[in-house]
Structure 1
Amino acid sequence: MKRPVRIANCSGFYGDRLEAAREMVEGGPIDVLTGDYLAELTMLILWKARRKDPAAGYAKTFLTQLEHVLGTCLDRGIRIVANAGGLNPAGLAARISSLDSQAKIAYVDGDDLVDRLPDLAHLDTGRKLSEAGVKPLTANAYLGGWGIAAALEAGADVVVTGRVTDASLVVGPAAWWHGWTPGDVDAIAGAMAAGHVIECGPQATGGNYAFFDEVTDRRYPGFPIAEVAGDGSSVITKHADTGGLVSAGTVTAQLLYEIAEPAYAGPDAVAHFDSLLLAEEEPDRVRISGTRGSPPGDQLKVALNYDGGYRNTMTLVLTGDRIEEKASWAEQQLFDLLGGKEQFAEVDVTLLRFDHPGSPVNAEATAHLRITVKDPDARKVGRRFSNTTMELALGGYPGFHTTTPPTAESAFGVYWPALVPAALVEHRVTLPDGSRLVIPHPPTGPAVSVPPVSLEARDFGPTRRVSLGAIAGARSGDKGGNANVGFWTRTEDEYTWLRGYLDVPRFRELLPEAAELEVRRFELPNLLALNFVVAGLLGDGVASATRPDPQAKGLGEYLRSRAVEVPVVLLEP
C-alpha cells in the first residue's frame, strides 16, 4: 500500500484568506492542494458576474492564489484541485494556462443543467417547478470525485471543476493516489468524512469552536490537512508552528456542520458518520477510522437559484422606555404613508431587543425595528420605501433615527434544492491533451446497516440551572432554508444525560422560533453527539432570508446560552 496522501485545504469559501495557498505550499510537505469556493449563494454571485461578462463565472481569487504558488507546485509535483470553475470551468482552465503554458490543466463539467431541466420537485416542500412558475438562473448537479481522479491519472497538474460536492475534492485525489474503484465504498466513505472536515478550512483547526478556551494558540488558525490512507482512514492535522488547534472536539464540530441524518449521502457513496471513530494520536493529530460506506443512490442533488425579485430593508432605532409601543406606532405610520402592506409581495417586521433596564450608556438602551419589503416591482421597494421611512423622522415616535440613510432596492435570489436522476447528468472531464471523457456514475446498491449503540438512561441526581454550553458544544449552519445544530459533549456521562434530556419538545422550548416548524433529531453516539435539523427556519435560503443571521451561524451559540437543569455531578471538576 502507498503511504497516505497529504491533501491540504487553502479555501473554505469564495473570499477566504488569500495567503492560505502560499502558507500551505510553503509550510510543509503536501501532495495535493485543494480549495472549496462554491456555496449555494456563490453560484448566484457567479451568475451575476457572468451576466456582466460572459468570460467570467469562476472564482477570480483562485487565480490570485495560483499566481502565488503555481510555479512552486509544478516544481515540487504538488497537484492542485479546486471547484473554483463555478459556472465556467473551461474559462478558468484557459486563464490558468495563460499563467504558465507548461502547466497541464484539466477541467470537469457537465453539472450545469439550467437549459435542460426536468420538472423537479423541491426537496423539502415537494412543490414542482412548473407549479411555482419560476425560471432558474442557475441549476447545477453535484458531481462526485471520479472525474477529478481521471484527470489526475492523465497527468493533470491542475484540475478545476464546476459544482462537485465539497468532499469530492478529497475523494478524487485519494481515489487516484490509492487506485480505488467505485466499489471501495468504505474507503470512499472515509475520504468523504475527511473531505467534510477540511472543506471549511480553519473551522477544523479551532475556528468558530465552541470551547474556544481550549484554543491556547490564538494566532490565526493554520488551514487543515487530511492524510488519507489506503483504507480510507485519515489523520486530520495542520502544519507545525501554526495557530489554532486540531482536537477530537474541533473535528467533531466540523463533522456535525451542515449535515442532516448521519447517513451522509454523496454521488460516490453514502458515508455513515455514526460509524466512524475519532482518536487523538498526538497534539494536533486526530485519526478518523472505521467509517462505513454504502453505494450511492440513483439520484443527484441539484442546487437551483431563481430570481426572487427585489428587496429593501430599513432599520429604525428605538430608545428608552415603551419600546413595543414605539415600534407599533412606527409600523402603523410607515405603512399608512405607503398605502398598506398588501401592495407588497412580502413584508417582514422584526423587533430586535438589545435594550435592558438601567443601561449605563445610551447605546445599551436601544432596540432595532427591522422592516423588509419584497416585490417583483423594483419601484415599490426602492427609494419610495426608504425615503418614506425617513418621513417619520420629525413626525413619529420620540428619538427616531435609523442605522443607515435611505437605500435603493437590491435584487435577490431564491434557493431551490432538488434531486435529479443521475442518468440525466453527464459527468465530463476534459484532459490536458484536449480529449474528453464521460465518467460513468457509480453503481447503486443496498445500504449497510450500522448497529445501534446501546446506552442506558441514568438518574444523575440533583440539578443546577446553568447554560447548556456548560456541558455541550454546538456548531450550526444552513442548508438552503433549513438550519442544523449539532451538539456534542466531552464525556460519555455528559452525552448520556444530553441524549436523555434534549428531545425534540425540549429543543422547541429552547428555540421558540421552531414551535411550528418540523424538527428532525439524529443521534451519533460514537461522536457523543446529537444533530437537529429545523426545516424552513431560514425561509428560502440565505439570498432571500430576512433574519439578521441568515446562515444560522450563531444559532448554536444562542442555544448554548439557554438555561437548562444540568446534574450537579456533571458540573463538578
Structure 2
Amino acid sequence: MSAPLRIGNASGFYGDRLGAVREMLADGPLDVLTGDYLAELTMLILGRDRLADPGRGYAATFLRQMEDSLALAAERGVRIVSNAGGLNPAGLAAALRRLAERRGLPVRVAYVTGDELLHRAEALGFPGAVTANAYLGGWGIAEALRRGAEVVVTGRVTDASLVAGPAAAHFGWARDDFDALAGATAAGHVLECGTQATGGNYAFFTELLAAGHDLTSPGFPLAEVDADGSAVITKHPGTGGAVTVGTVTAQLLYEITGPRYAGPDVTARFDTVRLEAAGPDRVRLSGARGEPPPPAVKVGVNRLAGFRNEVTFVLTGLDIEAKAALVRAQAEAALGAARPRRLEWRLARTDRASARTEQEHSALLRVVAADPDAERVGRAFSSALVELALASYPGCHLTAPPGRGSPYGVFSAAHVDRAEVRQEVVLPGGERLAVPADGPVLALAEVPDEAAPAPPGEPGPVRPAPLGAVLGARSGDKGGDATLGVWARDDPGWAWLDRTLTADRLRELLPETAGLPVRRYRLPKLRALSFVLEGLLGEGVAATSRFDPQAKGVAEWLRAQTVDVPVELLEPG
C-alpha cells in the first residue's frame, strides 16, 4: 500500500482569505496545495478585466499569495495547482516565472490551456460572447506534474480536477480507472469550497460552537487520497473549525444537480459515496463508483446583456403597502416613455409592529432597472426617482444615493463535442503537449426521483417545529437555477425526510418556487435529497434582481419553515 497523497486547498473563490496559502503550507505537511478561484460570475469579472487590459484576465490575488509563499512551498516540496489562470493562464505563468527569477527560486512553472473557445464562439453557436470556456478535466494537470512541474496554473477546469489531476499523476491511474477517478472527484468537490467543509456556512454551526469548536477562523480542508480513490477529509491539527460527517455531507450536496456528477474525465456517482467518522476531525469518503464521462463537454458562456441600476426606498411606520403603491405609481408615471425595458419592484416587509427602533419599524422597497441602453438606467432613471423625495409618501428617503448604473452579464451553459476542445500543456521549458480527449464515453442518463415516496409508517405524535430542528440543508446557484441539498442525520430522520419532502411539498414551503419546475433526486447513502429549482435565479447571478442572487440562503429559508415533526425525531429515545 502506497502512502496517501495529502492534497490541501487554500481558496474557495476569488476573494477568499488571503493568508490561507501560507497557513496551509506552514501548519502541517502537504504534498499538493490547490486553490479554486473561478465561478460563473468570476469568469464575467475576468472577462471585463481583459476587455479593459488584454494582459489581465487572471486572479491577481493568487500572484500576491505566491509573492508571499512561493519560497515556502519550494522549501517544503509542496506542488501548487490552481485554476487562478482564469482567462489568461499564459500571462499568470509568465508572471510566476518572473517572480521566481527575482527571488532566485528554481521553480518549474507549467500551464494548461485549450479551454478558451472565444475565438470560435460564433462558429460554435455562442454569438455575442464575452467569455466562452470549456470545462477541462484533470489530465492536463496530471501530464504537467508527471513532466516535473512544481507549479501548475490552468484556465477553466472543473473544480474537482484540481484534486483528481494530481491524484491521477501520483498513482498512475489510467483514463478508465473510473472508480478511482470518481473517488478523487468526490474528494475534490468537498475541498473546492474551502472552509465550507470545515464548519463554514454549516447548518448546525451552533452545535459545533457548543462542542467547543472555534469557528472564528476555520482551517482549510485537506484530503488524504488513497490509491483506490478513497480519501480521508481532514484539516491541519490545531486549526479552527471542525470536520464531521455533517460538514462533509453539506459540502458534498452543494451545487450538485443529481446523483450523477458529470465531468470531462468521469461521471461520479454521488449516490454510491459513503461517509463515516474516522477519528477527531477525520471523515472517510469511500465507495464511489464511476462511469465514463459524457461525449459532450460543458462550456460556460458569458454575454454582456445591458445595463442596470437600483434604488431602495425606506418605508417607515403605518400604511406600508399604500406607501409602496404610491411611490411605485409616481415612479412609473415620471419615467413615462423613458421607462427601462425591465423594471422590477420588490417590497421586503422587514418592519415589525411596536418596534423599539426606527430601523426595525421600516420596510424596504427595492426597484431594479435594466435596459440595453445605458442612458435609460443612468441619470435619467436616478433623477426621476430622486425628484419624488418631497412629493411622495411621508418619511420618504433612500438607503443610498442613486448611482449611474453599470453593465451586467448573463451566464449560460452550453455543450460541445469533446473533439472541439483541444487541451494543451505548456511545460516549463516552453514545450507544448497535446492532451488527447480519448477514452470511452457514455451518454449521461437521468436518474429519476423514485416518485412514489416511502410508505408512511404508523402515525405517531407530532409537534410543530422548524424543519431545521432535525434537518440540515445547503443551497447555491447553477446558472439561472438554484440547487438545494437536504439531509437527515439518522435513519429515522431520513425515512421521514424521504416520504415528506416531495417536490410539491417543497413548493408549498417555499412559495417563490410555486410556479417553477422542481427536480428531486434521492441519495440514500447520504440520507439526503437533492433538488434543482429551475429558473429561480432568472438569467443567473449577474442578471437576477432577486434579493439573494446566488441562492445561498434558500436552504436556511427552508429550514426555518414550521411543519409537523414526529416527536421521536425531536426527542430521540
Q: Structure 1-normalised TM-score?
A: 0.95
Q: 1:506 corresponds to which residue?
A: 505
Q: 2:163 corresponds to which residue?
A: 170
Return the alpha-carbon distance in structure 1 between the equivalents of residues 2 and 443 of structure 2. Answer: 29
Q: 1:117 corresponds to which residue?
A: 121
Q: 1:321 corresponds to which residue?
A: 318
Match status 1:535 vs 2:528: no
Match status 1:336 vs 2:333: yes
Q: Deviations over 1:459-497 (max 9, x none)?
A: 341211111101101100001110011001111101100
Q: Deviations over 1:223-263 (max 9, x none)?
A: 00011100000000000001111000000000000010110
Counterpart amino acid of 2:177? D
Aligned pair partner of 1:250 in 236, 239, 247: 247
Return the alpha-carbon distance in structure 1 between the equivalents of residues 9 and 361 of structure 2. Answer: 44
Return the alpha-carbon distance in structure 1 between the equivalents of residues 513 and 438 of structure 2. Answer: 38
Counterpart amino acid of 1:319? T
Kept in 1: contact 2:196–2:202 (CA 8 A) = yes
Aligned pair partner of 2:262 in 262, 265, 276: 265
Q: 1:477 corresponds to which residue?
A: 476
Alignment of 1:42-191 (within 5 A): 42-101=42-101, 102-117=106-121, 129=126, 134-191=127-184
TM-aligned CA deviation for residue 445 of structure 1: 3.9
Return the alpha-carbon distance in structure 2 between the equivalents of residues 260 and 276 of structure 1. Answer: 16
TM-aligned CA deviation for residue 455 of structure 1: 6.3
Return the alpha-carbon distance in structure 1 between the equivalents of residues 50 and 464 of structure 2. Answer: 54
Aligned pair partner of 2:303 in 303, 306, 326: 306
Match status 1:362 vs 2:355: no
Q: Deviations over 1:307-351 (max 9, x none)?
A: 11100000001111111111011000011011158x422111111
Return the alpha-carbon distance in structure 2 between the equivalents of residues 53 and 411 of structure 1. Answer: 17
Q: State the SS of the aligned residue for 1:541.
A: coil
Q: 2:562 corresponds to which residue?
A: 563
Q: 1:211 corresponds to which residue?
A: 204
Return the alpha-carbon distance in structure 2 between the equivalents of residues 463 and 359 of structure 1. Answer: 33
Kept in 2: contact 1:458–1:496 (CA 8 A) = no
Q: State the SS of the aligned residue for 2:233.
A: strand
Counterpart amino acid of 1:440? P
User: Could you say if the C-alpha distance between residues 215 and 363 of structure 1 is closer, same or farther in structure 2, counting changes exceeding 3 Å?
Assistant: same
Match status 1:443 vs 2:439: yes
- Between Structure 1 and Structure 2, how many residues are aligned? 561
User: Could you say if the C-alpha distance between residues 527 and 15 of structure 1 is closer, same or farther in structure 2, counting changes exceeding 3 Å?
Assistant: same
Return the alpha-carbon distance in structure 2 between the equivalents of residues 25 and 178 of structure 1. Answer: 23
Q: State the SS of the aligned residue for 1:215.
A: helix
Aligned pair partner of 1:383 in 364, 372, 379: 379
Return the alpha-carbon distance in structure 2 between the equivalents of residues 138 and 270 of structure 1. Answer: 25
Return the alpha-carbon distance in structure 1 between the equivalents of residues 312 and 237 of structure 2. Answer: 46
Return the alpha-carbon distance in structure 2 between the equivalents of residues 118 and 424 of structure 1. Answer: 13
Counterpart amino acid of 1:388? A
Kept in 2: contact 1:310–1:381 (CA 8 A) = yes
TM-aligned CA deviation for residue 440 of structure 1: 1.2
Return the alpha-carbon distance in structure 1 between the equivalents of residues 457 and 133 of structure 2. Answer: 48
Alignment of 1:4-19 (within 5 A): 4-19=4-19
Return the alpha-carbon distance in structure 2 between the equivalents of residues 529 and 420 of structure 1. Answer: 32
Counterpart amino acid of 2:347? L
Return the alpha-carbon distance in structure 2 between the equivalents of residues 293 and 447 of structure 1. Answer: 13
Return the alpha-carbon distance in structure 1 between the equivalents of residues 337 and 517 of structure 2. Answer: 32
Kept in 1: contact 2:449–2:521 (CA 8 A) = no
Q: State the SS of the aligned residue for 2:369.
A: strand
Q: Deviations over 1:399-439 (max 9, x none)?
A: 10100112111000110111111110101110112111111
TM-aligned CA deviation for residue 117 of structure 1: 2.6
CA RMSD after TM alignment: 1.7
Q: State the SS of the aligned residue for 1:477.
A: strand
The percentage of aligned residue pairs carrying the same residue is 56
User: Could you say if the C-alpha distance between residues 273 and 118 of structure 1 is closer, same or farther in structure 2, counting changes exceeding 3 Å?
Assistant: farther
Kept in 1: contact 2:294–2:443 (CA 8 A) = no
Counterpart amino acid of 1:355? D
Alignment of 1:446-461 (within 5 A): 446=442, 457-461=456-460
Return the alpha-carbon distance in structure 2 between the equivalents of residues 478 and 517 of structure 1. Answer: 15
Kept in 2: contact 1:299–1:420 (CA 8 A) = yes
Aligned pair partner of 2:185 in 192, 199, 205: 192
TM-aligned CA deviation for residue 118 of structure 1: 5.8
TM-aligned CA deviation for residue 448 of structure 1: 11
Return the alpha-carbon distance in structure 1 between the equivalents of residues 278 and 409 of structure 2. Answer: 45
Return the alpha-carbon distance in structure 1 between the equivalents of residues 427 and 222 of structure 2. Answer: 27
- Structure 1 runs of 4+ off > 3 angstroms? 445-457
Kept in 1: contact 2:502–2:520 (CA 8 A) = yes
Q: 1:279 corresponds to which residue?
A: 276
Higher mean C-alpha displacement, 352-361 vs 17-26: 352-361
Kept in 2: contact 1:296–1:443 (CA 8 A) = no
Kept in 2: contact 1:202–1:224 (CA 8 A) = yes
TM-aligned CA deviation for residue 67 of structure 1: 1.4
TM-aligned CA deviation for residue 457 of structure 1: 4.1
Counterpart amino acid of 1:373? A
TM-aligned CA deviation for residue 533 of structure 1: 0.6
Kept in 1: contact 2:11–2:193 (CA 8 A) = yes
TM-aligned CA deviation for residue 115 of structure 1: 1.4
Kept in 1: contact 2:197–2:247 (CA 8 A) = yes
Return the alpha-carbon distance in structure 1 between the equivalents of residues 182 and 35 of structure 2. Answer: 20
Q: Deviations over 1:149-194 (max 9, x none)?
A: 0000000010000000000000000001101010100000000000
Counterpart amino acid of 1:344? P
Return the alpha-carbon distance in structure 2 between the equivalents of residues 375 and 570 of structure 1. Answer: 51
Kept in 1: contact 2:243–2:282 (CA 8 A) = yes
Q: Deviations over 1:493-548 (max 9, x none)?
A: 01100110000110000111111111000111100101111011001111111112
TM-aligned CA deviation for residue 53 of structure 1: 1.7
Higher mean C-alpha displacement, 235-244 vs 110-119: 110-119
Return the alpha-carbon distance in structure 2 between the equivalents of residues 447 and 293 of structure 1. Answer: 13
Q: State the SS of the aligned residue for 1:18.
A: coil
Q: Deviations over 1:174-223 (max 9, x none)?
A: 00110101010000000000000000000000000000122232231000
TM-aligned CA deviation for residue 361 of structure 1: 1.7
Return the alpha-carbon distance in structure 2 between the equivalents of residues 448 and 138 of structure 1. Answer: 26
Q: 2:408 corresponds to which residue?
A: 412
Return the alpha-carbon distance in structure 1 between the equivalents of residues 504 and 534 of structure 2. Answer: 15
Q: State the SS of the aligned residue for 1:274.
A: helix
Kept in 2: contact 1:293–1:448 (CA 8 A) = no
TM-aligned CA deviation for residue 48 of structure 1: 1.5
Q: 1:123 corresponds to which residue?
A: none
Counterpart amino acid of 1:377? D
User: Could you say if the C-alpha distance between residues 49 and 445 of structure 1 is closer, same or farther in structure 2, counting changes exceeding 3 Å?
Assistant: closer
